[in-house]
A and B are shown apart, each in its own frame.
Chain A
C-alpha cells in the first residue's frame, strides 16, 4: 500500500517536471509558430504585404481585420537592417519579434514623432562594433538591438473604415527594409518595395 502511494507520488512529481520542461521547451520546438507560418510567404530582408484578414485567410489566428499588415523577415548575419516606414494617415505601428515570437520592441507613428519611422536594427555585437563618434553624430538615429539574429518585423497601418483599406496598403507599400550598405555614411538610395 505504502509502495503504491510512493509510486503515485513519484509519478505526480515526475509529471510536474515533464510539465515544466515541456512548457519551457514549447517555444523552441513548436513547428506551427508564426515565424514558420510566415516563412513560405515572405521574402528575407524585404517587406512583404500580407493578404488581408478575412474568414478564408487562416494563416494566423486573431489578426485585426482593420489593419493592413506587412512583414519583414530579417536575418542580421549579413549586416544590420535599415527600416523605413512612412506613416499612414490614421495610425501606423512597427513591432519587433524574435525568432520565437517574443515581442521585444514596438513603436507607433506618434512616439516616433516623424513622417517616416526610421530605425536601424542590429544585434548587440553589431551595435558594439559601431564607431562611437557615429553614435553621437546621429543622435536622432534610432537603433534597436535584436536579441536574436533572425526574427520578424510587423508593420501595420490602420484603415479606420473599410473604404480606407486601399490607402493603408499603399502607405505600407512605400516602406522598406534592407541590409545596410557596408559604409553606413553613404547609404544606398532606398528603393520602395514593389507591391504584391
Chain B
C-alpha cells in the first residue's frame, strides 16, 4: 500500500514538475536566453511534447523560425515588472525578429499603449545597428516596453527565417542581446 502511494506521488509529481517547469533536454542556452529548436521538428522530446499539449501551445516550426525565452536577467535575477530592465545588443541573423513580453501564463500584458513587443522593423537603433529596449512600468525614452507593473514576466525573442536552429551551439553562431536589471522602484 505504502509502495503504491509513493509510486503515485513520485510518478504524478515528477510528471507535473517536468511539464510545468520544463527539462534541460535539447535546450540551447545563450546568456539568459533558452530555446528548444527541436520542438519545431518531428524529433521533439517527449517532455516538450507533453508540455506543449498540456499548455495548448503550437510550437514554432523549424522552417518558420526559432523562439528564445528569458525569465531572468544575465545575473539570473528573475525579471520583475516593477524594475527597469534593459535589453541591449544585437540579435542573431534573421530576416525578421519579434520581442514580446508575456506574463507567467504566456498571455500578453494589458497597457494603455497596446504595445506588447517590438519587431525588428520598428525598433530604433543606434548607428552601429545595436539597440536598447527599456522594459519598465513607467514611460522611458526610446524603445519602451511597458510591463504593467506585474511581478514576474517572460521575454520571448522569435527569429523568423533564420539559420539559427538545431545545429546552433554557442554565442558565436547566435549573438543574443544582454538583459540587465538597472534599478528597482
Contact = CB atoms under 8 A, between A and B. Distances in A.
Contacts of A142: none
Interface in B1-28: 2-15, 18-19
Contacts of A60: 56-58
A16 B10 contact: yes
A104 to B, nearest CB: 5
A186 interface: no
B49 A15 contact: no
B68 interface: no
A102 B38 CA distance: 11
Contacts of A106: 40, 60-64
Contacts, number: 209
Contacts of B108: 53-55, 57, 63, 65
Given A11-B2, A158-B119, A110 B8 contact: no
Interface residues of A, number: 64
Contacts of B109: 55
Contacts of A27: 49-50, 52-53
A93 to B, nearest CB: 4
B46 interface: yes
A23 B15 contact: yes
Contact of A101 (B12, B53, B64): B53
6 contacts: A11-B4, A12-B6, A12-B7, A14-B11, A61-B105, A161-B119
Interface of B: 2-15, 18-19, 39-42, 44, 46-47, 49-50, 52-65, 67, 95-96, 98, 100, 102, 105-110, 114, 116-117, 119-122, 156, 158, 160-161
